[in-house]
Amino acid sequence: MLENLSFSYCENISQFSITARKLCSLTIKGCFSSELHKSIRLNLDLKSISTLDLDNWSLQYIMGETATTGLPPQLHALNVEFLKLSEFSFQNDVGTAAFVRLLCICPKLCKLEICFLVIN
């Protein structure tokens, strides 16, 4: 049974079809796809994930249009207890909005780790 899944620099992540009903940990980094939010929601049961590790771009893609339109998140409440964000920047309004939306659907969040993007 698949419990931990990582996608790193996958160009065609939306073409993966993985069924993981008891997934505990999901990492997505460097996967640039405007279809990411659709494929993740359709192919994975996000309700079982307790650890979610995303980079700034994956966060924006997973939250989809809700980050920019101001609409309520289309994702149901998640059981994420540990959220890790890398390459994050509060200077990006879309990323900040996606972050706030994600926090709103993670009522069980206990630990938050943010690694900021250094901009010179």
Domain membership of residue 26 (yes or no) is yes
Give domain status of residue 47, yes or no: yes
pTM of the predicted protein model: 0.80
Mean pLDDT in residue range 91-111:
88
Tell me how far apart the alpha carbons of residues 113 and 115 are, in angstroms, rounded to a whole number.
7
Residues 6+ apart with CB under 8 A from 118: none
Q: Can you give the residue range of the structural domain that contains 82?
A: 4-8+20-116
> What is the rounded CA–CA span in Å between residue 24 and residue 46?
9
Residue 54 scores a pLDDT above 80:
yes
Number of domains in the chain: 1
pLDDT tens per residue across span 22-31: 889 999 888 7
